[in-house]
Chain A
């Protein structure tokens, strides 16, 4: 395989990893605070629809992204209300959110646009209706100046702003989690909320904060999906990415840097399935396309079944906090 093909695959790995990364970090904040969230999928989907729809209506992708984040936050608030305030079952709440998002997005899309449950393509609404690719300085000039330049122009340059935001969120998450007061308390509340409560800190407040951060990041994941990666919303376009992100989170043992690596791995597998030709040329085997398509999902199942080492989730995860009697 030549360098250009490899770089193209890696380049699309990064693109495809970005929504996973946002969702994975979203889950990381929530689960580190002790709130399991299998509603990542639904939040992403809702955000994808509202960002595409509002971007189409306003012809401004930034307003669209904000709308997506808003929609995701609303679902986060529902999850928070159910699992923190009313101490309900977090899995059931998450499943409910997924169903709600899957149904509502299509319903509203049909009502607003009458195009069979999708939004119009954003390319019809001018250059500002989508997140476009940013060409970093000197990228074009660097292309012809050897492999380093090629990597710079092919792989590092030429992504939309959200890809860079996503990559920067990783060190930011690490810093918040391990170097700030908020992070210490957040990790503590996921391990032993009673310790936080008796230390005079509000368990409920911390958990809502975590769920809100989760909502914002899921919103970005959805917005990127519909306005960066694709040009518009189609039914069920998150296609299991929320679950893949959960698998990546477990694979990453709830750590930000590992989350990046896990998401890049999944992104890479997804990118491979787009380049069946390159895989076949490399392996000299007639690889069925369906197998390539299924790879990320197979890996998800393998990880969720616990075949990849033992990951210890936050100890208070999934348990509503009730002061003991």
Chain B
């Protein structure tokens, strides 16, 4: 192995308006290694890699590829320099075939047919070499995210990339798919490719990287050999203070049943059945975690319970059956029943991004008596004062009610939603993806708040695609696959492997299964939507 770094960045700086996303960053990535870059959301990881891929232009600094200074003004220059990138949000054309996506931008000539034929041949070779089999004629929108990601990797390899950048590649994958991805990456590394892995998951860094660089607030704070460090040390470097990686909680003491769901069935707008007979219950004083790959019906479950999707079946709150189909079955009626909802997508369903924090805090509770000045007028001052108090109690920074929601970081936005819902003292809290796009420091706080609500004897239904979160926060875990509950487990009597199998629609008790079977199952589930 040579001593010349495959990539060397020297003094890279980049500002977006007043925000300094990257501050004088220097990094050396050695060839034939997997180099992790870890940092919280907004630490500047993705910006740095987008600069390397020519998607953004750096304000200052130089890029050296294999020892040679290289200007990368656009993505074509990056491709020419042998850099391939797998973005967090895939850059695929949904209604094109795999083949068309791979060929796009790298065609051989003005006619399409010869390029497609050549790509077809090359894809089958790459599939053999790196366990990257994908049907070249499949349309992207019918593929599961795991397969879509393979297409992105194939795109890079087809363009003869020697350096592969992956931005948060496992966010959308099941544990089994993630393991498969890491096997692929190790295979690529053995072929001499250089891989940069951007992630906020400490476990992945520890598992697969050789070297790890830590970023915080736009600066590179450390670069260490992975074998010389620990998750605790990395977390401290990321956040700048000691953090608790495990949720601190006592065993649950469940009381009476708060939520009972029996045989819930839902069809989506296209008439596809998304919930196929769900039954579950949540007691006061316990957290039921729903695990599953995104898109297996968890969202629909939350929407039905939250009151904005019609369904068939029975739902009872504290023993009273609630109306699931009537004209008055809406979010307002659910709130009246003591159901609070922290939706999965806070930017679309939880907040109005252009509205002030205090306006957002009033949403859904705007009829609350303390917010009324008279029958027709709202008491804005009261709302603002109330918001101020909520922001302080929930450590929202900065605690300014008149700031627009979009001006808060992801973690602080989530705290605003959480404060609004939790402080209404609900019987049942529905909470979807509570820490998606939230910093480690804020994750700790949010988890503490959820556990505190549980300790007051409230029922909590938690939906998350982060298996770590499900395992550490839940008192009981139900796994959803393809609109059904695959099984329930106690967190201390199961492991990621078993849950991962259930998430892929396979009951491990039924005997051994192949990775191929798992992949097929996931694809079948994705194709159904």
Contact = CB atoms under 8 A, between A and B. Distances in A.
B215 to A, nearest CB: 17
Interface stretch (B87-95, B293-301, B325-333): B87-95
A194 B105 contact: no
Given A183-B112, A200-B76, A195 B107 contact: no
Interface stretch (B96-104, B122-130, B273-281): B96-104
B55 A323 contact: yes
A194 B94 CA distance: 12
A182 B92 CA distance: 17
Contacts of A11: none
B284 to A, nearest CB: 43
A181 B109 contact: yes
B135 interface: no
Contacts of B109: 181
A196 interface: yes
Contacts of B79: 199-200
A181 B93 contact: no
The CB with the most chain B CB atoms within 10 A, among A183, A185, A194, A199, is that of: A199
A185 B107 CA distance: 10
B16 A325 contact: yes
Contact of B104 (A178, A184, A323): A184
Nearest to A183: B112
B105 A185 contact: yes
A26 to B, nearest CB: 22
Contacts of B104: 184-185, 188, 195-196, 199, 201
Contacts of A179: 111-113
Nearest to B19: A325
B53 interface: yes
B85 A180 contact: no
A183 B110 CA distance: 9
B183 to A, nearest CB: 25
Query: DSSP majority for the A interface?
Result: helix
A135 B56 CA distance: 59
A141 B93 CA distance: 54
Nearest to A191: B93
A290 interface: no
Interface residues of B, number: 33
Contacts of A201: 76, 104-105
A197 interface: yes
Nearest to B56: A323
Given A198-B85, A199-B104, A199-B105, A192 B112 contact: no
Interface string B108-119: 011111010000
A196 B93 CA distance: 9
Interface residues of A, number: 24
Given A184-B100, A191-B96, A198 B91 contact: yes
Nearest to B155: A199
Contacts of A275: none
Given A179-B111, A185-B105, A191 B91 contact: no
A200 B75 contact: yes
B95 A181 contact: no
A98 B94 CA distance: 33
A315 interface: yes
A185 to B, nearest CB: 7
B101 A181 contact: no
A201 B100 CA distance: 15
Contacts of A188: 93, 96, 100, 104
A218 B55 CA distance: 35
Interface in A64-97: none
Contacts of B92: 192, 195
B74 interface: yes
Contacts of A191: 93-96
A84 to B, nearest CB: 17
B452 interface: no
Contacts of A199: 75, 79, 91, 104-106, 155
A198 B87 contact: yes
B370 to A, nearest CB: 38
Interface string A160-202: 0000000000000000001111111101100110111111110
A116 to B, nearest CB: 50
B75 A181 contact: no
B111 A192 contact: no
B91 A181 contact: no
A192 B91 contact: yes
Contacts of A197: 55, 75, 91
A190 to B, nearest CB: 9
A179 B77 CA distance: 27
Contacts of B155: 199
Contacts of A183: 112
B22 to A, nearest CB: 13
Contacts of A196: 104-105
Contacts of A178: 112
Contacts of B95: 191, 315
Contacts of B110: 180-182
Contacts of A181: 107, 109-112, 115
A188 B92 CA distance: 9
A184 B107 contact: yes
Nearest to B76: A200
A314 to B, nearest CB: 9
B75 A198 contact: yes
Contacts of A323: 55-56
Contacts of B113: 179
Nearest to B109: A181
Nearest to B54: A200
Given A197-B75, A199-B105, A200-B79, A315 B94 contact: yes
Contacts of A185: 104-105
A180 B111 contact: yes
Nearest to B105: A199
A197 B113 CA distance: 22
Interface of A: 178-185, 187-188, 191-192, 194-201, 315, 323-325
Given A198-B53, A323-B55, 4 more contacts: A181-B110, A198-B55, A200-B78, A200-B105
7 closest A-B pairs by beta carbon, nearest first, are A199-B105, A200-B76, A195-B91, A181-B107, A198-B91, A200-B75, A191-B93
8 contacts: A178-B112, A188-B104, A191-B94, A192-B92, A192-B94, A197-B91, A198-B85, A198-B91
